[in-house]
Amino acid sequence: MSLGMLIAFEGGEGTGKSTQAARLADRLGAVLTREPGGTAIGRRIRSLVLDPANDELTDRAEALLMAADRAQHVAELIRPALDAGRVVVSDRFAGSSLAYQSYGRGLPLDEVEQLSRWATDGVWPEVVVLLDVPEAVAEARLGADRDRMEGAGDGFHERVAAGFRALAAADPDRWVVVDGTGPVDEVAERVWNAVAERIGPA
């Protein structure tokens, strides 16, 4: 397996990304991180974006905050790790901005992608793992106590899920879609098999 690789996990709320990202990172001996909130500055941005009290936050402001988090994340953590030859596994990356802020919020896809690419300064995942679960399963996993994103209504999560599938279909060389239903160990094995096909033996 080549070194200096970024693997991103994507998916809607309640798909099990965080769990599976951690499992894969452990198996690969990789650096595990997340968006938003992979740095100290990012954690402050995360609290702003996810706080349900901030319901006045506009769609464009949300997109810019996510881009700011990503720019700091890449500069402070991801690029140095890649330059050192490490594998980095990120729980969310630019795909989430495209799915949430474009498909979910309705901002122009090309503008959100351009913003994300500018923020990452050329860093883009070699592999993107999309965990796909039925809406009812994701809903049941979330429970009642939800943050600002989890609690979004008016078909938001359906649009986001459709957006992720569209992104995966448009870039099959980079994206792999994995069934996220079933026991954690079974999903982890599906993820491993899908990723191993792309990156070669560990």
Between CA 123 and CA 80 the distance in angstroms is: 11
Cut 0.85: pTM above it = yes
Q: pLDDT-derived band of residue 135, with 50, 70 and 90 as boundaries?
A: confident
Angle, alpha carbons 165-9-47 (nearest 5°): 105
The mean predicted confidence, pLDDT, of the chain is 91
Amino acid 105: pLDDT: 92
Whole-number CA gyration radius for the chain: 16
pLDDT above 70 covers a percentage of the chain that reads 88
Residues found in the chain: 202
Q: What's the order of all strands across the beta sheet hosting 175-179? A: 31-34, 87-91, 5-10, 127-132, 175-179
Query: How confident is the model at residue 142, as a pLDDT?
Result: 61
Q: What is the pLDDT of residue 87?
A: 96
Q: Which residues contact 62 (CB under 8 A, 6 or more apart)?
A: 49, 101, 105
Helix, strand, coil percent content, the chain, rounded in steps of 5: 55, 15, 35
For the chain, the domain total comes to 1
The CATH number assigned to the domain holding 120 equals 3.40.50.300
Quick check: 35 pLDDT over 50? yes
First to last CA, the chain: 6
- Percent of all residues in the chain with a pLDDT value above 90, rounded to a whole number: 75
pLDDT in tens, 136-145: 666 665 655 5
Please calculate the CA angle 126-96-5 and round it to the nearest 5 degrees: 20
8 Å CB contact between 116 and 73: no
3-state secondary structure of 123: coil
Confidence of residue 157 (pLDDT cuts 50, 70, 90): confident
Report the pLDDT value the prediction gives residue 1, as an integer from 0 to 100. Answer: 45
The rounded distance, in Å, linking the Cα atoms of 128 and 8 is 5
191: domain range? 5-199
Tell whether the model's pLDDT for residue 106 goes beyond 50. yes
Q: What is the pLDDT of residue 53?
A: 86
Cis link prior to 36 (omega < 30° from 0)? yes
The pLDDT value given to residue 11: 93
